[in-house]
Amino acid sequence: MSVFVSQLPAGALALRSMLLGCLILTVSACGGAQSHEPARQAPIVERKGDRIFVPAGSPLRTRIAVAAVGTSTEGRTLDLPASVEADPALQSKVAPALTGRIVSLRVGLGDHVRAGQPLATMVSSDLAQAYADEARATAAMALATRSKARASALFDAGGGAQKDVLQAENDYATAQADLRSATAKLRIVGAPLRQRGGAQVLTIVAPSSGSVTDLAAARGAVWNDATQSLMTITDLNRVFVTVEVPEKDLASVHVGQPASVRFAAYPDAPVQSRVASVSDVLDPETRRMKVRLAFPDGGRRLKPGMFATVSFQAAAVPAVSVPTGALFLKDEGSQVYVEVAPWTFVPRTVEAGYSLGARTTISRGLKAGERVIVRGGVLIND
């Protein structure tokens, strides 16, 4: 061998050595590439239609927890927002029943007034006309009275006819009705009957005691709508706390039921009360019903419009429940993932009820004993 190598030219020997080295490097590179090719990994989840399968070897199997749906039998507190409202039966709308111009206004918004206290003064041509009508009716009544007496006297003396007596009596009845109508109109507008001479000034007085809670009048304003109220007087010695109860919770509230009320203005002083009334009408848009609690408030600490929170103690009833973390929002509703086979899940829409600590009741869509994802569901939630 040494003799053969020694007989090769030096250039050929160098070329052969170089080719042999390149061949060795190429084979080594190919072998290294094959040895470092990564193995094909299993998918984390597999989706077929609405089914989601977590295969063996998926890291999600250690991060997802599945448990059976349980039943909770616990009493709960129903906390609902509320507001203070005036008692409609204790509100008086002050309307003059006449048109005219307001020349003076003696009270302001929030003032406390007494029954019979002057509130405003109005100049009204309607009032002058009403006094004129009453004066004419009074004069006609006096004439009809004298005519009736004269016709009766003549008939009794044999100098009059029966038809004259009947006519006089008819005129008297008509005059009497006209006078009653004119007098009633003055009483309706609150004008004193003793005021005569075509007076145009009307003093508007408070029909009841209370606070001025609404004021629509101003000095110098022309009042053209006799049906519109100038102001509202409200007796705030008794108010209502009104709460709107959701339809699904109506079975937990009834008349006479005790409740605790906490006012935003007095957070450290909860007040105990009872349900005074439950509305018979359900709001078709909000699906809620108004419930009122009456509050005597001689000190007038509660003002209409104040915010409050009403707490009802609901009776304990068995209910299907899941951990709150098992629920996901879906199209303005709630959704859970139900296990239909080992490590195979399908999404299902449910109707969530009320919260019980870390759990939430399910009103519809699940049965006790079904298995759902209770932890890690967000990893497959799309």
Reported as a single tens digit per residue, the pLDDT across 104-139 is 999 999 999 999 999 999 998 888 888 888 889 999
Residue of higher predicted confidence among 17 and 94: 94
Q: Which two tokens stand for residue 241?
A: 């706390």
Residue of higher predicted confidence among 124 and 346: 346
Q: What is the percent of the chain where pLDDT is above 70?
A: 87
Q: Which two tokens stand for residue 15?
A: 């070329």
pLDDT at position 315 is: 77
Q: What is the helix (H) or strand (E) element at residue 271, kind and residue range?
A: strand 266-282
- Whole-angstrom CA distances from 272 to 95, 239, 295, 309, 326 are 38, 14, 10, 12, 36
pLDDT at position 31 is: 46
Residue of higher predicted confidence among 39 and 63: 63
The answer to whether 212 touches 53, Cβ cutoff 8 Å, is no
pLDDT higher than threshold 50 for residue 295: yes
- Give all domains of the chain, ordered by start, each with its CATH number: 48-74+318-380 (2.40.420.20), 79-88+235-314 (2.40.30.170), 92-124+197-234 (2.40.50.100), 126-189 (1.10.287)
Q: What is the percent of the chain where pLDDT is above 90?
A: 59
Q: How far apart are CA 197 and CA 194, in angstroms?
A: 10
Q: Which of 105-109, 152-156, 203-207, 322-326 is predicted least confidently? A: 152-156
* CA angle (210, 213, 218) in 5-degree steps: 110
Sign of CA dihedral 227, 233, 237, 241: positive
Average pLDDT over residues 3-24: 42
pLDDT higher than threshold 50 for residue 2: no
pLDDT at position 6 is: 38
Neighbours of 134 (CB within 10 A): 22
Burial 291-326 (b: 16+ CB within 10 A, else e): bbbebeeeeeebbbebebbbebebeeeebbbbbebb
pLDDT digits (tens, 9 = 90+) for 224-233: 888 889 999 9
Q: What is the helix (H) or strand (E) element at residue 203, kind and residue range?
A: strand 201-205
Q: How far apart are CA 131 and CA 187, in angstroms?
A: 11
Place of tokens 């409050």: 308
- Whole-angstrom CA distances from 104 to 110, 126, 162, 201 are 18, 18, 57, 11
Q: How far apart are CA 307 and CA 182, in angstroms?
A: 49
Q: CA torsion, points 143, 145, 146, 147, in degrees to nearest 10?
A: 80
Closest CA to 154 of 142, 166, 164: 164
pLDDT higher than threshold 60 for residue 24: no
Against a cut of 0.85, is the pTM above it? no
pLDDT higher than threshold 80 for residue 213: yes
pLDDT digits (tens, 9 = 90+) for 145-188: 999 999 998 888 887 788 888 999 999 999 999 999 999 888 88
The answer to whether 320 touches 362, Cβ cutoff 8 Å, is yes
